[in-house]
Structures are given as C-alpha cells and as structure tokens.
Amino acid sequence: MTIARHLTLLSFLCTMTRAADSQQPSPRPTTLAHRSTVYAPHGMIATSQPLATAAGLGVLERGGNAIDAAVTAAAVLNVVEPPMTGIGGDLFALVWSAKDHKLYGLNASGRSGSLMTRAALLAKGHTTMPQESVEDVTVPGALSGWDALLRRFGTVRLAQALAPAIGYAEAGFPLTPIIAGEWGAEVAKLRKDEGARATYLVDDGRAPRAGEWFRNPDLARSLRLIAEQGTGALYGGELGHRIAERVRALGGYLTADDLRKHRPEWVEPISATFKGYRVWELPPNGQGVAVLEMLKILEPYDLKALGHNTAPYLHLLIEAKKLAYADIAQYVGEPTAMTVPVANLLSDGYAASRRALLDPARAADRPAAGKPLTASETIYLTVADSAGNMVSFINSLYDAFGSGVVVPGTGFALQDRGAGFTLEPGLPNTVAPGKRPFHTIIPALVTQPDGRGGEAPWLSFGVMGGSMQPQGHVQLLLNLIVFGMDLQDAIDAARFRHLEGRRVALEAPIDDAVRRALVALGHELTPEADVAFGGAQAIMRLARGYAAGSDPRKDGMAAGY
C-alpha cells in the first residue's frame, strides 16, 4: 500500500474518531498532574529522586562538570532508589563533550558468567530463560562505567563522587512515595533471600513506608571500600570474591575471574535523521536501534494532521513498534554475534519494506522479522553544565531489586540481566558464556545543525521502563518535534505501551472514543492499572541556558542554577 493510500485511510479514520469524540465527551482526565518546565541559565540536572538531583546540582554549583554530577547522582540513587539501580547493575551513557564538539558512547554492561551455558540451563529443566533468579546474575558493569566516565571526562575522583551516597547510606534518609510503593510490591521477593531480607526489609519483614527513615550501613561500607581501594575492590578484589562465592553457592554461574576480566567499552553511537533533527542512540547489545527504525518507518507520514493521540495516530505508532521489535528480537544481541549490521536495519530501503507491511486498517498480531541484506528496572538521569557538556545516563538492575539476591553484608542487589538472553539456538542473543545479553536500557541524545556544517546538542533524554523505552522515546520525540509541545507537556502527555501480540495499554487521559476506535481496528486493550508507562527525564539546550522536565510518574525533579 502506498503512503498516499495510507494517509487517505488514516485521515478517514481520524475524522470518524473525532466525530465520535465530539458526540460523547469523555469523563476521563485530560492530562497528568502538571509541573512547569524548569529553566536555568548555567547548569541543569533531572533525576528520578530529589536527593539525587540535589546532590548533582551541588556538584555543578561547586564548579564540577556534568559528568561529575551524573556519577554523584547515580551513586545517591543506589541508596535512595534501590529497587531500580545500583552498583549491582549495568550502565550505558552518551556524553556530549563541548571541548571536542563530539558525542561519545559508553557501554558498561557486564557479560554472562563463564559457567552460564545453554546446556547447563537446559539440564536444569529450563525451556526459557529463568526470571528474577540467581541464575540470571551477570557481571555488574555500572561501577566500571562510573569510573570510566570520570577518568575520561570528569574533574573529581570516584571517591569524591561517592561521598554523598555514603553519607545517605550511613545516616539515612526519608523514603519518597513512588519508590516506597515499588519497594512494597517486592516484599515477597525480598523475603526469599537472606541478604535481601536483612538489607531491605524492616521490623517484622515489611518494606519501609513513605516518609519513613531508612539506613543501609552495609552499602555505606561497600562504597567506602570502593572509595579507598578503587573499582578493583569489585573487579577482582574482596567484594568481587564475596559476590562470586555467594552466587555460585546459590546455583549461579559467575566466577571471581569473570569479575576480574570485566572492562567497559567506549562505542560509536548510532543515529538516524527525523524532520531535520539527528537522533542518537547506542549500538547493540541494546535496543536503541528500535527507536531509530520506528522513526524511519514513521517519517513520511503527516503525523500532525492525524492529531495527537487519536486512534489513527496511535495505531500507526503501535504497528511501527511491532515491526521494529520483531527485528530486534531476531537480529540484535552481542555485537560480535550479529550477522545483520545495524546500518542495514536502518537503511531507507529496509524502512520502506517494513512500512509497506503496516496496515492502517487492522492491527497485526505478531509480525515476522524482515529480511535485510547482510554485508531494557531502571533509573535515567541527565545533566548539562555551563561549559555545554551534556550527559544522557541510564543505570539498571533489570527487574525490581534485580535477581533479588543481596550478598550478605554488601548492601546492594545483583542484577538479573541474564534473563535478557534467549534459549532459542542460533540467534545473536542465544545464551552463552562470556556474552553480553540483549539490553533494554537506552540513553538518547538529539542534535541539530549548528549552522557551520556540524551538529550541536539539542536534547538529552531518556524514558525508563524496560520495553517501554523505545516506544517512550518515540512518543516523547514526536510530542516535541511534530506537535511542538513545551518540554514538560511532552513528558506529561498520556502514553500507550504495546505489550505483545495485539495487547496494548493506554494511560487514563486517552479517552473512550479513541479506545473504542482502536478496538475496532483489532487492538486488545489491557487494563492500565498494573502497567508502567515509563519515567522520563529531559534537558533541552536553549540559545542561552537550559530547559528541563521531570516525569510526574516518578518521584524525581529537575533543578538548575
């Protein structure tokens, strides 16, 4: 079907939806609780927890740069938002260096243990990868990433960046409401592990409540050890040996040598243009390529004419998401195991071939991957400083509290990122020893022409939430670029989340007329109460100073000076 035919049919559907909407006013709320966009002249930070934002802002005000502030804030989040992040997880970052006028990418994700084989998992009776299990524990790469960022771009030492986190872990802090809710939802999981129970539950085995003071002296000791001994404490030292011994004792596949061999990797970011902007993501083993493929599929459409969050508009985005995700499931994983180059997935011809499969009148079930020619729970934060440096930074444990395993006395949970592998043989993401699994966590950055033949940073942003992340990236970008929304409005706007098959969830502000129209197109609506729609943080570079927004779906805030 041609683009012209697509547009004609979509316009007709849009008209019908609007007519139905005008006849039956919806009682649903029209927006989430609103915040104002934050503006500041010199520097800006946006994180998912106010204490982390304050710690990073303090670094900026004392003369530190964006990289110093990002690592400081990430360490504080390890303390104050432990269901989502910590040194037991992985890290990815994009750094715009004002000095070099260049974008850098860091992949600080860890590899599977040397004992993690497909045969070993099958022998234990698994037919799919286990979930939230010690068997999913992979090398935690976040700490190595913090250190790599500071060594290359920072002005402070790792010990200095860890100091505020050590203070909060030792003295304690009052818990914020959304994080308290996420914590409370994981009590049964935390009770299963001796170390998790002792670290994260209080009194008779309950989660701490909103406003209640919480301390983590074990984490303070671990961070102080790292401050004194450097990252070697985890990668080959005392802390690493304790982790490896405990994981093996519980039936996992990690060894001390696996930790000792870990190295973060500087990588070349990947990009695609959209409506005059260049959108940057990190290359595999992450899912950033899905964002770029979705944008390339969508670019020829007149999305603005369809109307924001109308049924035809949402249908188009949902179907583009399905096509892109079918491709990443088939082709994306550890880069050395991939047989299809990323460039081929992002070629104009391939995007056109995928676009041709999009039916504007009917929801697809599970589209197959295409045939290109051959030749991922989380915190997101972003920081910009007065020199023009910008950091897009994401750190994750995968599931809430990761594997649910805390080595007694360490104070932090180990990620379960190995659950991102597949047991299906012959794929780039098939489980194997010493391999990085497919990752859901993706930082993003957008540049625009600088008028001198180069590029200049425009937006640093991310949307937390597993498979929500690529579809969240696209929705936020379209809100800004196509519909011209204010930054905070673009973050607040109601979202969809496609789950699997024809199942999709819609946030409450999307009205009943649109819901009925989507059902008529073949979509199956899932109750939104138990679905997470992501949590965005964003900083936009202005002609002078910065604008920033922080998602009301999280506890965080944006602040500047």
Active-site entry in 17, 310, 378, 440: 378
Write the burial class of residue 339 (CB in 10 Å: 0-12 exposed, 13-18 middle, 19+ buried): exposed
Phi first, then psi, for residue 464 (nearest 5°) are -70, 155
The residues with which 97 forms a beta bridge, in sequence order, are 102
Q: With residue 273 as reference, give the H or E element that holds it.
A: strand 270-274
Q: Give the DSSP letter string of 111-167.
A: PPPTT--HHHHHHTT-SS--SSSGGG-----HHHHHHHHHHHH-SS-HHHHHHHHHH
**Tokens encoding 362:** 């009917």
3-state SS class at 306: helix
Q: With residue 535 as reference, give the H or E element that holds it.
A: strand 535-541
Instruction: Count CB atoms within 10 A of the CB of residue 148.
Output: 23
Instruction: Look up 378 and say whether it is catalytic.
Output: yes
What is d(CA 438, CA 337) in angstroms, rounded to the nearest whole number? 11
Task: Give the residue from 3, 168, 8, 154 showing the smallest Cα distance to 77.
Answer: 168
501: left (phi over 0), alpha (psi -120 to 50) or beta: left
CA 480 from chain center: how many Å?
Answer: 19
Q: With residue 294 as reference, give the H or E element that holds it.
A: helix 288-298
Q: Are 139 and 262 in contact (CB under 8 A)?
A: yes
What is d(CA 366, CA 344) in angstroms, rounded to the nearest whole number? 22
What is d(CA 181, CA 208) in angstroms, rounded to the nearest whole number? 9
Give, as one character, the DSSP assignment of residue 281: E
H helix runs in 24-101, sequence order: 50-61, 66-80
Torsion of CA 60, 61, 62, 68, to 10 degrees: -10
What is d(CA 74, CA 85) in angstroms, rounded to the nearest whole number? 8
**Tokens encoding 121:** 């998992």
Task: Give the residue from 448, 452, 451, 474 showing the smallest Cα distance to 461.
Answer: 474
* Residues with catalytic roles: 378
